[in-house]
Amino acid sequence: SWDAEARVDSVDPSAFGELPAGEINAQISSSGSKAGDKLDFVAEVTTLSGQLAGYDVGGGGKVEYGDSVWLVDNFHLTDGRNELRLHGSVKEELDLDFSFTGEQLGALLPALKGGVSAHGRVGGTVDMPRLTAQLRSDGLSYENYSVTSASADVDFVIEEQGAFNTVVKIGGADLGGFMLEQVGVDISGSTGTHSGDILIDSDFGTLSLKISGGLDQAKKWRGVLAEIGYEHPDYGQWRQKGSAALEASAEFLKLSDFCLYSGENGFCGSGEGSTSGSWSTRIDELRFSLSKLNEWGEVKPGITGVVKGELVAAGKGSVLSTLDGKIEVPELELDVDADELYPELKWYET
């Protein structure tokens, strides 16, 4: 058995490796016993104070262990205006509450700014833990990336076919120049079978879709993408025809039977890629009215006609290895400036 106390005065953490410079003071006590394989102990941080990288630190709390049961009594750490708290027990049944409040995130990572709060509970059993948590952020930024506001609510049973419900909302974000107005993700079910809705509103338009599927025994996700819609002030409304099959794993991604249409314009396609960099794609039933280019402002006014075709391509990385296809232009009319020799060109052959 043992019963001990330790005191730390004005210790600089940087003396122990790549830690920030500072001055730490602490008082710690511990008592316990060990008889054969049986271990019981109590450890308590009665005081913790000082500075780390220019920010005030503090903390305290007690941890007990005995009869295969862990008890955490008001364990807390502060660094600047950031605080982590743990309280509860870990045994056959889990009952552990946690919270984190970050109002001075630069104390943890200098380039990180804004505020974050999270709280939740680990419940259930050791064989089937259940995590419930809520996360909120406000004015979060890191280098060239920023999120105006974000929230996440998670309820997840951690086991092979565990049930879960996840709701994520982002209100405004700058991802290195790519602007997001809002993002919404709402998915529920189990790891084996789940479904949900996804909405992404950005400076490149609004994308919405429904997703359903699940993980199989080989950890491959197989599912269906349906009701895909895309809207843009210049490019108009595009809607999915039918549904598309999606397969994904840590090594590859495959999309099949994907069809998207806007009025008389549209295409169907499929493709796949792998982490090795190899990829392939196929586009069928391509039909595009060239007058759309006038509406989109991509060319000077005065081009009409229709393009039809199909295309098969493959490569690795940015290198194109094979390209095979057929493009038909059954009708084309192009107007040029009046002072040109040929003010109008018309083509009525394929």
pLDDT (0 to 100) of residue 305: 85
255 residue type, one letter: L
pLDDT (0 to 100) of residue 217: 85
pLDDT (0 to 100) of residue 145: 95
pLDDT (0 to 100) of residue 17: 83
Residue 211 CA to residue 194 CA, distance in Å, equals: 8
CB 137 within 8 Å of CB 114: yes
pLDDT (0 to 100) of residue 228: 96
Residue 282 CA to residue 324 CA, distance in Å, equals: 10
- Beta-bridge partner residues of 118: 100, 135
Residue 1: exposure state from Cβ atoms within 10 A (0-12, 13-18, ≥19): exposed
Give Cα separations from 349 to 283, 305, 306, 309, 331 (angstroms): 23, 11, 11, 14, 6
Residue identified by tokens 């105006």 is: 148
pLDDT (0 to 100) of residue 297: 75
Residue 190 CA to residue 120 CA, distance in Å, equals: 20
State pLDDT tens for residues 102-148: 999 998 888 999 999 999 999 999 999 999 999 999 999 999 999 99
Segment-wise mean pLDDT, segments of 10 residues, the chain, 350 residues: 93 88 95 91 95 94 94 95 96 96 92 96 94 96 94 90 92 92 96 95 96 92 96 93 96 96 95 96 93 77 84 94 90 64 53
Residue 38 CA to residue 65 CA, distance in Å, equals: 10
Residue 107: exposure state from Cβ atoms within 10 A (0-12, 13-18, ≥19): buried
pLDDT (0 to 100) of residue 29: 96
State pLDDT tens for residues 155-189: 999 887 789 999 999 999 999 899 999 999 999 99
pLDDT (0 to 100) of residue 350: 44
Residue 244: exposure state from Cβ atoms within 10 A (0-12, 13-18, ≥19): buried
pLDDT (0 to 100) of residue 20: 87
